[in-house]
């Protein structure tokens, strides 16, 4: 698909390091860790950087939600795009997040979320925030080259204004030594076990088959101005992102795609099943093989595959839903994961927004059946998840939408920060192993440089 493109003289690595100094920045970061590459020739680390939005939407009410969805619903599908690499999918358009709690707008009959007196959240966060960006900067992190991209030609003065803002960000950016962030778990093992036991009661009663039970970790540090670069590079995760607004700063090294929509086709790749990385090559391979052959994890994964077949079916042409991959093993910086892939053809009367919201929130972070699992989550977790287990991504002007699952994420406000972890609880789960798995997933994130 033709678009305006102009090489810039800046270092891509330097712009990545300075991205947090730009006005209202949003960043997609694609590392190689655990990534089943969609194009065999595209074995590169890249990032797409957008800033200085022309429109901003922040959702704190149903009125705000209706205004946002009216804007996003105007982004339709395009056919025969001819895109040759994933980084071509976003040149301009809307980029932002849906929080997990935006599920109150998408799941019919779900009780409204309410923060209880026991809630320890740092602040009441928006249900969603999206910015409209008229251009983006492609950062080729391997060649250290970058280019300005827009859907139509830009004038010399427009380009000069953009390069001036980039230079200002570079001038303001500097390596600053920071103290390690101190984190405190929101639950101890006894509280987790109480919630776990209650989930088992619901499973034994036949209410649910699986519940994704999660817990927060809190920090009192103000991380809103921290540089995301070292965290992104440390994990090198395929669906990482960074987003900064007046309300919050989001850092995510997500390994999981929620949905991608392109040319009326929708694809989802849920993660369900985890094993720790080993201290040696032999131990690491043994852990990987254990996960691949684990009947428990396969059963847990299959429950979510069936749930997502149903979720995609809400938007699909009849008979088009298929399971393309089942029980693949992907290796990431901190854990091995079991991943499956489901796809479908979207009904021609629907928009990308329709298809995203029909499946939101992702089934891998709720449980099955979805609505009842979400009710159990609301009862047992007591506090709102906020952005955790929501989705970050974009609706591009080229007709493509792509969203991650916001796991392995830190959400910061001036009052403090949160990092959540969790896992799917099924009948043969044990509280001890599930609690340990939470720390396997998030400890390295909390210990990582930020």
Q: What is the pLDDT of residues 295-317, one digit of tens each?
A: 989 998 999 999 999 999 999 99
**How far is it, in rounded angstroms, from Cα 397 to Cα 415?**
36
pTM of the full structure: 0.93
Cis peptide before 361 (omega within 30 of 0): yes
Q: Flag whether pLDDT at 37 surpasses 60.
A: no
What's the rounded Cα separation, in Å, for the pair 257 and 270?
7
- Cβ neighbours, 10 Å, residue 323: 14
User: Which tokens is 126 given?
Assistant: 């928006």
272 belongs to the catalytic site = yes
pLDDT above 80: residue 113: no
Which domains, ranges and CATH numbers included, belong to the chain? 4-173+183-447 (3.60.120.10)
**Cα 115 from Cα 119, distance rounded (Å):** 6
Helices (H), 205-262: 229-235
Which has more pLDDT, 27 or 33?
Answer: 27
Q: Determine what percent of the chain is predicted with pLDDT higher than 90.
A: 82
The dihedrals phi and psi of 340, each to the nearest 5 degrees, come to -120, 160
Pick the catalytic residue: 88, 256, 300, 381?
256
Distance CA(97)–CA(404), nearest Å, equals 9
36 confidence band (pLDDT: 50, 70, 90) = low
How confident is the model over 155-205, as pLDDT tens digits? Answer: 999 999 999 999 999 999 887 777 789 999 999 999 999 999 999 999 999
Over range 76-96, report the average pLDDT.
86
**Which backbone phi and psi does 329 adopt, to 5 degrees?**
-110, 125
312 close to 283: Cβ distance less than 8 angstroms: no
Asked whether the beta carbons of 437 and 237 are under 8 A apart, the reply is no
Of residues 119 and 88, more confidently modeled: 88
HSE value, Cβ hemisphere, 13 Å, CA-based, for 222: 4
Residue 40 pLDDT grade (very low, low, confident, very high; cuts 50, 70, 90): very low
Task: Determine the 3-state secondary structure of 243 from DSSP.
Answer: strand
The first and second tokens of residue 83, run together, are 């895109």
- Residue 49 has a pLDDT of 98
Two tokens at 49?
Answer: 């950087």
What are the CA-CA distances from residue 295 to residues 206, 282, 299, 301, 446 (Å)?
A: 21, 22, 6, 10, 31
Active site residue 415: no
Q: What is the mean pLDDT of residues 285-297?
A: 93
Q: What counts of helices (H) and strands (E) characterise the chain?
A: 11, 22
Q: Which residues pair with 434 in a beta bridge?
A: none
In 3D space, the residue among 243, 225, 231, 238 whose CA is nearest the CA of residue 394 turns out to be 243
SS3 state of residue 121: coil
Residue 149: pLDDT above 90? yes
The CA distance from 283 to 276, in Å, is 10
Whether the Cβ atoms of residue 216 and residue 168 lie closer than 8 Å to each other? no
CA-to-CA dists, residue 310 to 100, 222, 260, 303, angstroms = 19, 41, 16, 11
| CB within 8 Å of 243: residues ≥ 6 apart | 25, 26, 27, 95, 96, 97, 129, 249, 250, 392
Tokens of 355: 């298809």
d(CA 200, CA 207): 10
Q: Do residues 16 and 47 touch, judged by C-beta distance below 8 A?
A: yes
Taking CA 158 as the corner, what is the angle to CA 156 and CA 161, rounded to the nearest 5 degrees?
110
Can you say whether the dihedral through the CA atoms of 286, 287, 289, 294 is positive or negative? positive
Predicted pLDDT at 334: 80
Quick one: pLDDT at residue 382? 86
Q: Which residues of 75-89 are buried (b: 16+ CB within 10 A; e: fewer)?
A: bebbeeeebeebbbb
**pLDDT given at position 119:** 41
pLDDT tier, 7 (very low <50, low <70, confident <90, very high otherwise): very high
d(CA 310, CA 323): 12
Which candidate in 260, 272, 370, 441 is catalytic?
272
1-10, 210-219, 226-235: least confident range? 1-10
């Amino acid at each position: 698909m033709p678009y305006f493109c102009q090489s810039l003289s800046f270092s891509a690595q330097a712009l990545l390091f300075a991205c947090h100094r730009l006005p209202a920045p949003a960043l997609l970061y694609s590392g190689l860790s655990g990534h089943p590459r969609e194009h065999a020739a595209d074995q590169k680390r890249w990032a797409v950087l957008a800033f200085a939005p022309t429109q901003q939407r922040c959702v704190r009410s149903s009125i705000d939600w209706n205004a946002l969805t009216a804007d996003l619903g105007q982004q339709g599908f395009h056919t025969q795009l001819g895109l040759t690499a994933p980084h071509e999918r976003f040149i301009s358009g809307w980029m932002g997040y849906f929080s997990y709690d935006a599920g109150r707008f998408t799941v019919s009959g779900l009780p409204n979320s309410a923060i209880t007196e026991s809630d320890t959240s740092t602040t009441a966060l928006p249900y969603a925030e999206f910015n409209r960006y008229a251009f983006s900067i492609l950062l080729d992190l391997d060649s250290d080259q970058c280019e300005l991209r827009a859907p139509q030609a830009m004038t010399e003065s427009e380009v000069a204004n953009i390069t001036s803002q980039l230079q200002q960000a570079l001038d303001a950016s500097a390596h600053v030594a920071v103290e390690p962030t101190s984190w405190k778990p929101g639950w101890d093992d006894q509280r987790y076990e109480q919630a776990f036991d209650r989930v088992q009661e619901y499973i034994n009663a036949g209410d649910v088959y699986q519940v994704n039970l999660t817990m927060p970790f809190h920090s009192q540090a103000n991380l809103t101005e921290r540089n995301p670069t070292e965290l992104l590079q440390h994990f090198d995760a395929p669906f990482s992102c960074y987003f900064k607004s007046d309300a919050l700063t989001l850092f995510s090294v997500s390994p999981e795609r929620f949905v991608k929509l392109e040319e009326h086709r929708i694809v989802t790749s849920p993660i369900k099943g985890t094993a720790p990385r080993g201290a040696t090559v032999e131990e690491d391979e043994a852990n990987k093989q254990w996960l691949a052959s684990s009947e428990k994890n396969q059963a847990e994964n299959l429950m979510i595959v069936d749930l997502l077949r149903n979720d995609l079916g809400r938007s699909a042409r009849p008979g088009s839903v298929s399971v393309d991959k089942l029980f693949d093993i992907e290796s990431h910086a901190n854990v091995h994961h079991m991943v499956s892939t489901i796809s479908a053809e979207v009904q021609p009367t629907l928009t990308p927004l329709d298809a995203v919201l029909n499946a939101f929130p992702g089934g891998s972070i709720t449980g099955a059946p979805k609505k009842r699992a979400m009710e159990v989550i609301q009862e047992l977790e007591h506090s709102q998840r906020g952005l955790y287990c929501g989705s970050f991504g974009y609706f591009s002007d080229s007709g493509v939408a792509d969203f991650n699952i916001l796991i392995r994420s830190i959400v910061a406000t001036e009052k403090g920060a949160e990092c959540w972890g969790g896992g799917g609880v099924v009948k043969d789960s044990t509280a001890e192993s599930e609690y340990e798995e939470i720390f396997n997933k998030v400890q390295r994130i909390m210990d990582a440089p930020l």
